[in-house]
Structure 1
Amino acid sequence: MPRLVFLVTEDWYFVSHRMALAVAAKDAGFDVTVITRCGAKCEAIRAAGIEVVPFSMERRGLNPLGLAREVIRLARLYRRLQPDIVHHVALRPVVVGGLAARLAGVTRVVSAIAGMGYAFTAGRGGWLAAVLRGLLRLALGRGAVIVQNPEDAAAVARLGMAPARIRLIPGAGVDVARFAPQPEPEGLPVVMLASRLLWDKGVGEFIEAARRLPGRACFVLVGAPDPGNPASVDESTLRAWTEEGVVEWWGPREDMPATLNAAHIVCLPSYREGLPKVLLEAMACGRAVVTTDAPGCRDCVRDGDNGLLVPVGDAGALAAAIRQLLDDPDLRRRMGARGRERAVNEFAQAIVIEATLALYRNAVAAPPRTTGFAAGTGGR
């Protein structure tokens, strides 16, 4: 039975974005292990029959000594576990895991880049982005690289990756049975932003749009600050907004299908994404979407089709788009229906899982190589 090992920074992220894939891999005959920081979700992972190996990893910062320690600890772990294939999820695990795989002699590697991250956002980066690019070139030296949108595919290609090693797979997919449409609720329309509460998600623009549309709708934030991210909105700012009356803050919610179905319009004015899962979930729930003409966002929302696109950072354009959908309930319902259609046909979880399982099968079937999946992938 081939051993598949996931490396994910946080257990909650694994449950939200990769648990269904791991269970499908287990059902397909893989012995599945996840290496992650253990928090409140580790027992749910174990309950699904997946081994959990606790591992603490920093989420940000490039302190050379700290990074080297993480790589060495993980390389030792890989030598002990002897994985047939490792799947690194998100930017830091891709870097740390890729370097550790080199040290441990693991050549069957899948590197899933779920968006290029804080350092690659327009207007940021500088030396940090340059260092990350250098580390990525080294970390991505073997195996397949999964990206979620064409812009990230081009960015990876610029790092020197052969096109045959790059796979475009649309995010984590969405469970279209669980996320199903319900009629719009009665009463004052609800305009919702549901995500980690980061400035990079366009939270500031959302608040400004709400100020420009007083009394037209109930503007709602769903989610929590993320203190581990330098772009996090602090809780005191959130409290001030609620006291001002400009927005309601519902906090994090477990039942996202019911939460999204409580909205009339779902917004994500993000600066850059891989492929935003919340937009796919909103589409599956039949909700019209307002988002930005940014990488990842425009790959699941087509302007005038299943939602509206606005320029990044433009609160006035965001308010105008929201106003258009508030003024035309028939339009937003048509867009919602079209979003549901696209979610089922293009972004269903089953489609994503099958594409990824095919990648695993190709990897373990190929003879050992040192460079990866161009014609198959390597072995340990």
Structure 2
Amino acid sequence: MKAVLFANTDWYLYNFRRSLALSLQRAGHDVLLISPDGPYGSKLRDLGLRWEPLPMQRRSLNVFRELALLWYLVRLLRREQPDLVHGFTIKCAVYGSLAARMAGISARINAVAGMGYVFTSTQWKARLLRPIVRALLRLALGGKGARLILQNADDVALFEQARLVDPEHIRLIRGSGVDCAKFANVPEARTDGTRLRVLLACRLLWDKGVDEYVEASRTLRERGCAIDALLAGTSDPGNPAAIPESTVRGWVNEGALTWLGHVEDMASLLGSVDVVVLPSYREGLPRTLVEAAACGLPLITTDVPGCREVVTDGVDGLLVPVKDGEALARAIQRLRDDPDFARRLGRAARIKARAQFDERIVIERTMDLYAELCQPQEQSATSTQAGRLTH
């Protein structure tokens, strides 16, 4: 089997899908990774993977440039003649699927982690694009050889309600997977009533709840509650919701948080903190929470799609209302004041991460889906019935 994996950044392929690509390669399959150019392409090649850059601009609205990109993809797929195309994020799902159809490739898999800027933003540009993208999605995701991977039950219900895809073609695979063994030796959280080290690790986007995190830090500081509020991550200029670096530096200058920038070794960072938070507005299934859970850290996140797939309130973490910095502050203080409770949450989170979110589970289910579409038709009927999503 030959597969093309298509993402909107080389960073995404390296951080979230390299284990899948390497597993496919070890199983004897041919894999080509494609994305816009970037510094992680060479890292993928250093792993022995094939990677090619694309002339793609994520925020482009230029019709001629977008048509040129689509034609570039069609020619690439005709040259490569893969058995299937697997696209990640909404733009790659649309372009990859349309190009695959035009190139005569029937097996098309698309993994959409959340609804993306076009469907979640209230900005005029997003509202203008929404009906266009909806129509393109119906076209791209349709057909007998198409499958849609969603990461949480809320998105499954949303896609079904919007009638964007045949419900029979939806598969629920929770996240991109985390190598839980990598985080197994991280020491237990040190919630002992002293100065608490709290971490938010994310792309610096407004819809990750960074503003609410800053508000919670300010509130706790005013109350005399000693915490170190850490922020790890960099801005994403290709995303309309990106937070300007000047804004982040302003928060640092006022003492609201410590900005760590990009952190390569997340296991070491997680081993140095006591609580991980993610006050996001909506997620597919947040990897940062799963990595923290694998470390046995107590989690605080918002009661929104994606986040509540990882955290059950009071069992393996705490859920707070979205866009509520005060509630986030209370949750952080609760874990600071009750270290035994925090440790119980962390231990339960670790058990859940290993049982549900380990990358071996995700890769196995993804490769089963590849086999469902690429094996002879007479063999695929049984596996299709077995793999069908149940509600």
When the two chains are superposed, the root-mean-square deviation of aligned CA atoms in Å is 1.8
- Report whether the alignment pairs 1:176 with 2:183: no
Aligned to 2:232: 222
| Contact 1:225–1:234 (CA under 8 A) maintained in structure 2 | yes
- Report whether the alignment pairs 1:266 with 2:276: yes
Structure 2: segments with no counterpart, 5+ residues: 387-391
| Contact 1:3–1:85 (CA under 8 A) maintained in structure 2 | yes
State how many pairs are aligned: 371
Q: How far does the alpha carbon of each residue in 1:148-198 deviate from its partner, in whole angstroms, 9 at most, with x for none? A: 011211222223422221000011111111122313358621111000011
For residue 164 of structure 1, what is the amino acid of its counterpart?
E
| Contact 1:305–1:335 (CA under 8 A) maintained in structure 2 | yes
**Using the alignment, how far apart are the partners of 2:57 and 2:34 within structure 1?**
14
TM-score, length basis structure 2? 0.91
| Contact 1:165–1:374 (CA under 8 A) maintained in structure 2 | no
SS at match of 1:18: helix
| Contact 2:85–2:97 (CA under 8 A) maintained in structure 1 | no
Aligned to 2:202: 195
Aligned to 2:219: 212
SS at match of 1:206: helix
For residue 129 of structure 1, what is the amino acid of its counterpart?
R
| Contact 1:164–1:374 (CA under 8 A) maintained in structure 2 | no
Equivalent in 120, 134, 156 of residue 153 of structure 1: 156
1:359-374 to 2 correspondences below 5 Å: 359-367=369-377
Q: How far does the alpha carbon of each residue in 1:196-228 deviate from its partner, in whole angstroms, 9 at most, with x for none? A: 011100000000000000142000100011111
**Using the alignment, how far apart are the partners of 1:331 and 1:238 within structure 2?**
32
- Report whether the alignment pairs 1:113 with 2:124: no
- Report whether the alignment pairs 1:129 with 2:130: yes
**Using the alignment, how far apart are the partners of 2:164 and 2:259 within structure 1?**
44
| Contact 2:189–2:296 (CA under 8 A) maintained in structure 1 | no
Aligned to 1:75: 74
| Contact 2:188–2:297 (CA under 8 A) maintained in structure 1 | no
**Using the alignment, how far apart are the partners of 1:221 and 1:306 within structure 2?**
22
SS at match of 1:32: strand
Aligned to 1:58: 57
SS at match of 1:25: helix
C-alpha displacement of 1:375: 6.8
Distance 1:320 1:374, change over 3 A: same
**Using the alignment, how far apart are the partners of 2:98 and 2:84 within structure 1?**
15
SS at match of 1:146: strand
Distance 1:63 1:154, change over 3 A: farther
For residue 68 of structure 1, what is the amino acid of its counterpart?
L
SS at match of 1:312: coil
**Using the alignment, how far apart are the partners of 1:264 and 1:105 within structure 2?**
52
**Using the alignment, how far apart are the partners of 2:376 and 2:140 within structure 1?**
21
**Using the alignment, how far apart are the partners of 1:12 and 1:123 within structure 2?**
27
Determine which structure has the larger helix proportion and give its number. Answer: 2
For residue 369 of structure 2, what is the amino acid of its counterpart?
L
Aligned to 2:23: 24
Aligned to 1:163: 167
TM-score, length basis structure 1? 0.94
Q: What percentage of aligned pairs have identical amino acids?
A: 45
Aligned to 2:389: none
**Using the alignment, how far apart are the partners of 1:63 and 1:311 within structure 2?**
38
For residue 15 of structure 2, what is the amino acid of its counterpart?
S
Structure 1: segments with no counterpart, 5+ residues: none
C-alpha displacement of 1:326: 1.1
| Contact 1:133–1:159 (CA under 8 A) maintained in structure 2 | no
Q: How far does the alpha carbon of each residue in 1:49-69 deviate from its partner, in whole angstroms, 9 at most, with x for none? A: 221122132223443333222
Aligned to 1:320: 330
**Using the alignment, how far apart are the partners of 2:116 and 2:251 within structure 1?**
27
Greater relative CO, 1 or 2 (CA 8 Å, sep 6+): 1
Q: How far does the alpha carbon of each residue in 1:108-160 deviate from its partner, in whole angstroms, 9 at most, with x for none? A: 11111111111211645422222211111111123110000112112222234
- Report whether the alignment pairs 1:304 with 2:286: no
| Contact 2:9–2:36 (CA under 8 A) maintained in structure 1 | yes
1:286-365 to 2 correspondences below 5 Å: 286-365=296-375
Q: How far does the alpha carbon of each residue in 1:228-250 deviate from its partner, in whole angstroms, 9 at most, with x for none? A: 11111111111111110111001
C-alpha displacement of 1:374: 6.0
**Using the alignment, how far apart are the partners of 1:113 and 1:82 within structure 2?**
24
C-alpha displacement of 1:26: 1.0
For residue 298 of structure 2, what is the amino acid of its counterpart?
A
Q: How far does the alpha carbon of each residue in 1:303-360 deviate from its partner, in whole angstroms, 9 at most, with x for none? A: 1111111111011111111111111111111100000000000111100010001011
